[in-house]
């Protein structure tokens, strides 16, 4: 059964982003999702952070403060091994969901 649903979508997007670009800060993740989805997916920027925090506490992500351009420092996120596993699981269940929804739509 496909677990979760749409709530898991944000997790999938974030995990996938970090699988594609190894280290990013929150703002970078927003930009990447926007760019990679060809501007179709617009993440509500604020809601990203609770998700990041939750994923970090679950051990899927690790983070580190790095001095970015100028005097600012930013928290950069990285996938952990557990995060990679979680990504696989989430992708699978997402695919099942898609298949299921497709089947529903084409049911005559």
Partner 1 sequence: MKVFRRIWAFVNRSRVLSEIEEELRGHLEMRASDNLDDGMSPEQATRDARLRFGNPAAMKEQVQAVDFALGIESILADLRYALRGCLRNPGITIVAVLTLALGIGVNTTFFAAFDGIALKPLPVKDPQHLVRFEQWLQSGATGDPQFFVSWPEYLFYRAHTHALSDVIAASRLISVVGVPDGATPEGSTQQNTIPLQGQVVSDNYFPGLAGSAAAGRYFLPEENQPASAPAMVLSYPFWQRQFQGDSAAIGKTLKVNGQAFTIVGVAPREFIGSGAPPLVPDFWAPAATQAYLEPGHAWLEQPKDAEVQVLARLDPARLNSTRSEAQAEMLLLAQQWGQSQQQTDKTIAITLNRATFFGETNALWFRGVVASLMAVIGLILLIACANLTNMLMARGTMRRHEIAVRRALGATRKRLLRQLLTESLVLGLLGGACGLLVSYWASHLLQVILQQMVQSLAVLGGAAFSINLTPDLRVFAYTLFLSLLTGVLFGMVPALQFSKSDGTSALKVEGATAGQQTSRSRLRNFLVAAQFAVSLFLLISAGLLLQGLRRSLSVDPGFETRRVFFVGLNTGPRLSIERQRQIMDELRAMPVVASVAASIKPPGTGTFGRQAIIEGDHGAEVNVQGGALGDIVSPDYFQTMQVPIVRGRIFTRDEAERGAGVAVVSASTARQFWPGQDPLGKRFKLDLKINNTWEEFEVVGVAKDVRNANLTRIDPVYFYVPEPPDQFAGSTLLIRVKGDPASSARDVVNALNLSDPKLQPDLVSLEDGHMRLQRLLSQMLGVFAGLLACLAVPLAGVGIYGVVAYLVSQRTREIGIRMALGATRGGVLRLILRQSMSPVAIGAGIGFVFSIAASSALHAILVLPGVPDVLFGVSFLDPEVFVGLSLFLAAVALTASYIPARRAMRVDPMAALRYE
Given the rule CB under 8 A, which residues bind partner 1? Answer: 25-27, 30, 44-47, 49-50, 53-54, 57-59, 65, 72-75
Residue with smaller CB distance to partner 1, 64 or 95 = 64
CB of 95: closest distance to partner 1 in angstroms?
19
CB of 30: closest distance to partner 1 in angstroms?
8
User: Which of helix, strand or coil describes residue 64?
Assistant: strand
Residues 69-102 as b or e (16 or more Cβ within 10 Å = b): eeeeebebbebbeebeebbeebeebbeebeeeee
CB of 39: closest distance to partner 1 in angstroms?
14
Residue with smaller CB distance to partner 1, 27 or 102 = 27
CB of 22: closest distance to partner 1 in angstroms?
19
Taking each continuous run of H as one helix and of E as one strand, the counts in the chain are 4, 3
Given a contact cutoff of 8 angstroms between Cβ atoms, the answer to whether 25 and 74 are in contact is yes
User: Which of helix, strand or coil describes residue 65?
Assistant: strand
Residue with smaller CB distance to partner 1, 66 or 102 = 66
């Amino acid at each position: 059964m496909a677990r979760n649903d749409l709530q898991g979508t944000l997790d999938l997007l974030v995990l996938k982003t970090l699988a594609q670009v190894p280290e990013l800060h929150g703002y970078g993740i927003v930009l990447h999702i926007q760019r990679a989805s060809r501007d179709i997916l617009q993440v509500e920027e604020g809601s990203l952070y609770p998700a990041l925090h939750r994923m970090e506490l679950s051990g899927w992500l690790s983070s580190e403060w790095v001095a970015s351009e100028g005097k600012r420092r930013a928290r950069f996120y990285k996938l952990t091994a557990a995060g990679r596993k979680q990504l696989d699981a989430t992708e699978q269940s997402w695919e099942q969901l898609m298949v299921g929804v497709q089947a529903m739509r084409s049911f005559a």
